A and B are shown apart, each in its own frame.
Chain A
Amino acid sequence: MAIQILMPALSPTMTEGKLAKWVKDEGDAVESGDVIAEIETDKATMEFEAVDDGVLGKILVAEGTDGVAVNTPIAIVLEDGEDISAADSIAVAPGAEPAPETTPELTAKAAPVTQLSASNPDSPQPMEYKGATTALTIREALRDAMAEEMRRDETVFLMGEEVAEYQGAYKVSQGLLEEFGAERVIDTPITEHGFAGIGVGAAFGGLRPIVEFMTFNFAMQAIDHIINSAAKTLYMSGGQMGAPIVFRGTNGAASRVAAQHSQCYGAWYAQIPGLKVIAPWSGADAKGLLKAAIRDPNPVIFLENEILYGQSFDVPDDVDFVIPIGKARIERPGSDVTITAFSLMVGIALQAAEQLATEGINAEVINLRTLRPLDTGAIVDSVEKTNRIVTVEEGWPTCGIGAEIGAMLMAQAFDYLDAPVARVAGKDVPMPYAANLEALALPKAEDIVEAAKAVCYG
């Protein structure tokens, strides 16, 4: 029977891709294991192998076609002896029904960087950038931040697993080895505790290391050095020496990578005196805050997000564009309810705000940007205006960022609150693998809408 070949999903986050090249032609024999096409995913160009033996009967999607959705039929393979008319007879091949949707809806676009003008004189916000911008993905913005700082300061170097020759497991360090060479872009073995310690030692020795963790899940191997060696040394040495070092990498859930690879460490590190903790959302955040982190004389935890890596934002071109650590940003001004979020959840909060607007609720969305030190002034100012707040985070609720904000508001804005602080957080369970359970475990725009309505209509 003729077999339909479908556009494959070749990475956890891929929903569509480009059919870059057909390696086999119509009429060619194919054997299981033969490369038949090259497909560009969100991360790389991949070879696509046949799984059945037969003859490539018909190519349905021409090479060079962009944006081919996963599971679109792209070719038909005929079994030995079949002719092409067999291809015409298959209307819908088995398995052609769409795969369960596993990637969360993430269509949020960045508000333009210049959205908030200085016409809001009371705003606690830093001056907004007004210069030229370029549309870049988050992974490019992060790469540019590192490259610019490495050009500026030769003590800055990057170290981690697959950062050099492989160009980064998530392609964040693309091109850095070529520009800066193997002395400054260093592949390590899979030895997080060891290389985190070496990084801290190098920082003691006067260098400014950027230590990449392939994901922050693996930084648990190294957390002793992050906390005991990096965060506490300035204090223990009576101010003589500290560790100017950036620990960066992806944090939180990606897509279907399950319990050991899907954890938000925001609240963990935010608890530690001696650390600064950043969780950027937009391209400007990514670039401006990573540059600030590299220039900062303290250990900085920089929490990225895999799902954001491929999203595009307008990013300031200016090499001296740096965002101050410790300042939140109002992404959407509003008067009825404050929503705080960080990282990926800022986009979800903005979606929720749009939906609330259609129902007559004007939400103010605050992008926290930094988790330690937390911009409590910005949150209090907003609550003084809206009198209601919903905190959003992907991590667990217990002792989370929302819990901290709630406690802080009890002390600093108790008289302004017209409703109890509401928290939207990841469910209090290890991350499940199953698609439906994973979707239930993660905060959604609807959860935020519901919480906002509850605090508004209580």
Chain B
Amino acid sequence: MAKLSKSASKKAPKKKRSNKKKNNASPEELLHYYQQMLLIRRFEEKAGQLYGMGLIGGFCHLYIGQEAVVVGMQATAGENDSVITSYRCHAHMLACDMDPKGVMAELTGRQDGLSKGKGGSMHMFSLEKRFFGGHGIVGAQIPLGTGLAFANLYRKDGGLCHAYCGDGAINQGQIYEAFNMASLWKLPVIYVIENNKYGMGTSVERASAVTELYKRGDSFGIPGEQVDGMDVLAVKTAAEKAAAWCRTGKGPFILEMKTYRYRGHSMSDPAKYRDKEEVSKVRKESDPIDNLRDRILSTKVATEAQLKDTDKDLKMIVTAAAEFAQQSQEPDPAELYTDILLEA
């Protein structure tokens, strides 16, 4: 086994940003990714707005800036694949095709929310879409996702798990216990590290002794690759490679997505640990949506007017979701005592 993983990591692509890879998407696909990323952005903007109005409570972690990661990953998702992530989860649900209305109604804590209003912003699930949460405890989803992959292998259903975590989470000890078993047992799991440079107010450099996070599988023989997480096509290319690796029985694969979050850690983070220039520079130079938009326009896949219409349509979808989420009733008080145990 040790031999196998050695040759595995040899064959595995090493640190190389893959944004130079040739465009591997059809015009329809490009428009689809654009539409998905913009939906996420508009949705999150609206969520921020509803939070400010007191309609969303507790914590609320927005994904603005990171849209290319989940959209690029989902571009390769197969039938029995599953997704699991942290509390920063709204985008993953939208990318898993979950209804924006159900997501927004969960954010407002109403009965039509995906968890009937009982889970909230950080804890949402859809068995139908094979989305296994939204987890509030940093790092917990990595062993859980490894277990989902264990189930894929056990049933031999050809599926794999996309298990996401942050650059802060990657230091949690339980992750390395999971890595070891995933590699030992050749579990089909892609660990997606969303390196947005900060875990709350702590930069990667202040939290990690070795900051090349794609190397974190080295001791376990898990190959890793660093990816430009602001480029949806680079993400897709990397995801295809990792998925092929997992689906051919070679075990887990790590993708470190270099990305960035524009907003604070949660709605209540004043983000004093970075200066505004840092944020505006990324926004201006590397915005994943602007990047794709430029590509679409320069390759004449769509016109400016068409893209404007797309935006208009998405704004309507999001506004409708927000209205739905405000009109939906609060859960029935009897719901307090349901869903605690199943009848044996």
Contacts and interface: CB of A to CB of B under 8 A. Distances in A.
B336 A255 contact: no
Contacts of A220: 137
B168 A99 contact: no
Contacts of A162: 200-202
Contact of B208 (A169, A189, A427, A429): A189
The 10 A-B residue pairs whose C-beta atoms are closest, nearest first, are A99-B54, A256-B57, A433-B120, A8-B52, A256-B58, A260-B136, A11-B268, A434-B117, A434-B109, A166-B201
Nearest to B207: A189
B336 A440 contact: yes
Nearest to A254: B58
Contacts of A255: 57-58
A43 interface: yes
B139 interface: yes
A119 to B, nearest CB: 46
Interface in A250-270: 254-261
A255 B120 CA distance: 12
A10 B335 CA distance: 29
B72 interface: no
A165 interface: yes
B57 A51 contact: no
Contact of A46 (B121, B202, B270, B283): B270
Contacts of A429: 336-337, 340
Nearest to A170: B268
A70 interface: yes
A73 to B, nearest CB: 11
A210 B335 CA distance: 40
Contacts of B212: none
B117 to A, nearest CB: 4
Contacts of B262: 33
Interface stretch (A121-129, A190-198, A273-281): A190-198
B171 interface: yes
27 contacts: A8-B51, A8-B52, A10-B268, A32-B45, A41-B268, A46-B270, A48-B52, A51-B45, A51-B48, A95-B326, A100-B54, A189-B199, A190-B168, A190-B172, A194-B173, A217-B136, A258-B119, A258-B121, A259-B119, A260-B122, A260-B136, A261-B58, A261-B59, A432-B117, A432-B331, A433-B117, A440-B336
A437 B333 CA distance: 6
Interface of A: 6, 8-12, 14, 32-33, 41, 43-49, 51, 70-71, 95, 98-100, 102, 161-162, 165-166, 169, 187, 189-191, 193-194, 217-218, 220-221, 254-261, 427, 429-430, 432-437, 440-441
B274 to A, nearest CB: 11
Given A8-B51, A255-B58, A434-B330, 6 more contacts: A8-B53, A70-B54, A187-B206, A190-B168, A221-B137, A258-B58
B169 interface: yes
Contact of A257 (B58, B137, B206): B58
Contacts of A217: 136-137
A333 B200 CA distance: 45
A435 B121 CA distance: 13
A191 B58 contact: no
Interface in B114-148: 115, 117-123, 135-139
B263 to A, nearest CB: 8
A406 to B, nearest CB: 23
Nearest to A35: B276
B53 A190 contact: no
Given A12-B268, A189-B202, A433 B335 contact: no
Contacts of B337: 427, 429
A259 B57 contact: no
B55 interface: yes
B311 to A, nearest CB: 11
Contact of B120 (A43, A71, A98, A258): A258
B70 to A, nearest CB: 21
A9 B336 contact: no
Contacts of A32: 45
Given A10-B267, A12-B57, A70-B54, A427 B171 contact: no
Interface string B53-69: 11101110000000000
B335 A44 contact: no
Contacts of B335: 432, 434, 437
B123 A166 contact: no
Given A6-B52, A256-B58, A440-B333, A165 B273 contact: yes
B215 interface: no
Interface string B235-257: 00000000000000000000000
Interface of B: 45-46, 48-49, 51-55, 57-59, 106, 109-110, 115, 117-123, 135-139, 168-169, 171-174, 199-202, 206-208, 262, 264, 267-268, 270, 272-273, 283, 326, 330-331, 333, 335-337, 340
Contacts of B57: 12, 102, 255-256, 433, 435
Given A43-B268, A99-B55, A256-B58, A441 B336 contact: yes
Given A255-B58, A260-B123, A433-B58, A190 B110 contact: no
Contact of B200 (A14, A169, A432, A434): A169
B51 A9 contact: yes
Contact of A190 (B45, B123, B171, B264): B171
A193 B169 contact: no
B54 A12 contact: no
Given A429-B337, A434-B109, A193 B173 contact: yes
A269 B193 CA distance: 34
A452 B6 CA distance: 70
Contacts of A432: 117-118, 331, 335-336
Given A190-B171, A258-B120, A259-B119, A435 B109 contact: yes
A427 B136 CA distance: 21
Contact of B53 (A95, A261, A437): A95
Nearest to A32: B45
Given A190-B138, A190-B139, A193-B173, A44 B270 contact: yes
Contacts of B168: 189-190
B59 A12 contact: yes
A70 B169 CA distance: 33
A437 B171 CA distance: 35
Contacts of A71: 53-54
A257 B121 CA distance: 9
Contacts of A256: 57-58, 109, 120
Contacts of B138: 190, 218
A45 B271 CA distance: 10
Contacts of A190: 138-139, 168-169, 171-172, 199, 207
Contacts of B330: 100, 434-437
Contacts of A49: 48
A15 to B, nearest CB: 9
A47 B54 contact: no
A258 B122 contact: yes
Contacts of B207: 189-190
Nearest to B199: A190
Contacts of B115: 433
